[in-house]
Structure 1
Amino acid sequence: MDSVKEMMKQHTNHSDFRDKYQQIIKKVMADEDIKQFIFLHEDEITQDVLEKSYAKFHEFIKERDARINGKPVSSPGLEPVLQMNVGFVDVIYRPTAEFMRQQKEKSIKRRLHALNMPKNIAEATFAEVDITEQRAMIVAEAVELTELMTKEPKTFHQGLYLSGTFGVGKTFLLGAMANELAKNGFITTLLHVPSFSMEMKQAIGTGDVAEKIEIIKKADILMLDDIGAESSSVWFRDEVLGVILQYRMLQELPTFFSSNFTMKELEEHFRVSQRGDDEPLKAKRLMERVRFLAREMELTGENRRPK
């Protein structure tokens, strides 16, 4: 790019251009950001340096004002910054605060794998959790646990098993924990168990069962939502949930649950097969893994879902 001074030389005989040039210089020298920059670098900016830098000062003002006024800019997501170079002033471009915020949000979303979950759950935060006197202790426990996992990422932390009636906010609290962990750099998988059960049955026909189990069982942090609400299936209990939880128990991987059942009720649920057979040992074996991975906390309150 030719400097403003060089362009001036090429148009010496054009009085209109000289007038425009002087107007540009006047505007540049009256700009508060420019004056502040010159003041901060007065020892380096000689008259010669100043004259060589008019074009860069003009570029800075033009790009800055375009962003302020919402007009098209040469580098969206970047903002101009004046910088002292050897013998002249330069303009560099750095990410804007808004661009950095958007990139951070995208990064968080990439770390949170919400499978078959509503949008409001995938975007839940602790600030949005309804805290009542009865729920305060559980919410505080959830916040404390996420902080502890962040401080001690290599230590095994027993997750939470949130039990409670329909619509009291168990899933929302899991979502808030998942988002907080994602913000702190953890990859978290939030999985709706009934939908996953149906997906796994369909995967039998495509031969994808083993691959899907492999992905879920090795998730850095796994949150199993609404466990026990899936259709009763010995195969899903033993060959899917059992395999996933066995691996996570042996590897001591953080695992969370939510359910309308207490742990005791969930064990009773898993005892009876779809054929009506009573299988207490298999149910007990599965629940041993659940109890190793998480401790139960009951969430109480009113049904918050739309009627």
Structure 2
Amino acid sequence: MNSIRSSLDQFMKNKDWRRRYEELREEVLSYPKIQTFQQEHPEVTEEAMENNMMKLFEYKRERQNCDTCPGLENCPNMMQGYQPELYSDTGQLTVRYHPCRLKQQADEQKRQQSLIQSMHIPKEILEASFDDVEQDHASRLSASNACLKFAFEANPGEDATGLYLHGKFGVGKTYMIGAIANELVARDISSMIVYAPDFFREMKQALSDGTVQEKMDEVKNAEVLMLDDIGAETTSAWIRDDVLGVILQYRLMQKLPTVYTSNYDYDELENHLAYSQKGGIEELKAKRIMERVKHLTVPVFVDGKNRREM
């Protein structure tokens, strides 16, 4: 049996293979980006180029894919979204890969999206923008400006002041907090939007599986917390005092701002919180909760057409 070495020698003597190799070699060395590299790095010798012909072939193949980029999802490179570059290291030739522009943009978009968390919030709210807030009513214009100002000035860890957006159904309160979340992304501030009725319902269910503390920690530690439609939930003393009260107290101590939306104004929400499922009235406990809310929010009234009926 012939040795591997002799088999390779025989293979190298094959004229067809040799001719094809020379053609590929010429294609590689005539590739404009490789020629530019040679001109810029005279320390890389012809011998080094010859000894690394397979690396150069790999570089040319992958770089040509980038030259005719079909888009990130259809990238044919060995490492999708990565672009090859030639480097000279003390006269030695090497090929390195780095994320291409499209890959960097996609990674940045994912990073930004990770800054917005949500619980039970529709997708269109997570894509909200102040550019799309209709300015067809003086109240909506004023509210939009207040929300934008908050997004520009919010300072988690230093200032716990948030907003309390209140008004009738369908006037765009939830959409505005989605727009706030996206503006905060530009400042690298994370936020969490929580649909309050579903969250409080989930907390009751968490009693049975022992995840109450875990769920509460996730919400109370958000840099900017947005409680959507607070007051729409069925009130219970436990939810009011041991969930909402604990969350708000923690955020007060940590100076973390909270934004609310509600169909109730301050007084109406206080009345709502005073009633429990069991029919009792606990005005003092409701007042304690509302003192925290009032002290750390700016009330913003939102009015206008009901978007849900259009």
Short-chain TM bin: 0.7 to 0.9
Change (3 A) 1:36 1:165: farther
Q: Name the amino acid aligned to 1:145.
A: F
Residue identity (%): 38
CA distance change for structure 1 residues 116 and 93 in 2, over 3 Å: closer, same or farther? same
Q: For residue 19 of structure 1, report the CA deviation from its aligned partner.
A: 2.4
Name the residue aligned to 1:147.
152
Which is worse superposed, 261-270 or 219-228? 261-270
Q: Summarize the Cα distance change of 1:29–1:190 in structure 2 as closer, same or farther, 3 Å threshold.
A: same
Question: What amino acid is the match of 1:22?
Answer: E
Match of 1:47? 46
Q: Where does residue 231 of structure 1 map in the other structure?
A: 234
Cα 1:285–1:34, aligned 2, differ >3 Å: closer, same or farther? same
Range moving further from structure 2, 123-132 or 218-227: 123-132
1:129-278 superposed matches below 5 A: 129-132=133-136, 134=138, 135-149=140-154, 152-182=155-185, 184-278=187-281
Distance 1:109 1:63 in 2: 30
Secondary structure of 2:38's match?
Answer: helix
Please name the residue that 1:26 is paired with. 26
SS in 2 for 1:186: coil
8 A Cα contact 1:271 1:282, kept in partner: yes
Runs of 5+ unmatched residues, structure 2: 1-7
Structure 1 gap ranges (5+): 1-7
| Distance in structure 1 (CA, Å) of the matches to 2:251 and 2:52 | 62
When structure 1 is superposed on structure 2, of 112-121 and 131-140 the one drifting more is: 131-140
Q: TM-score, normalised by structure 1?
A: 0.83
C-alpha spacing 1:29/1:282, structure 2 compared with 1 (3 Å): same
Code of the residue aligned with 1:226 in structure 2: it is D
Give the aligned partner of residue 122 of structure 2.
118
* SS of residue in 2 equivalent to 1:295: strand
**Separation in 2, partners of 1:203, 1:187:** 25
Q: Distance in 2 between matches of 1:296 and 1:239?
A: 25
Question: How much has 1:60 moved relative to structure 2?
Answer: 1.0
The one-letter code sitting in structure 2 at the alignment partner of 1:250 is: M
Alignment-mate amino acid for residue 43 of structure 2:
E
SS at match of 1:37: helix
Code of the residue aligned with 1:142 in structure 2: it is C
1:197 Cα deviation (Å)?
1.9
Preserved contact between residue 249 and residue 292 of structure 1 (Cα < 8 Å): no
Matched residue pairs, number?
A: 297
The alpha carbon displacement at 1:133 in A equals: 5.9
Contact 2:127 2:182 in 1 (8 A): yes
Cα contact 2:128–2:179 (8 A) shared by 1: yes
Query: 1:161–1:44: structure 2 CA closer, same or farther, 3 Å change rule?
Result: same
Aligned-residue CA RMSD (Å): 2.9
Q: Which amino acid counterpart does residue 195 of structure 1 have in structure 2?
A: D
Contact 1:190–1:224 (CA under 8 A) maintained in structure 2: yes
Provide the residue aligned with 2:64 in structure 1.
65
Q: Residues 29 and 207 from structure 1, CA distance in 2 versus in 1: closer, same or farther, beyond 3 angstroms?
A: closer
Q: Which residue of 2 aligns with 1:5?
A: none
How many angstroms apart in 2 are the aligned matches of 1:71 and 1:214? 41
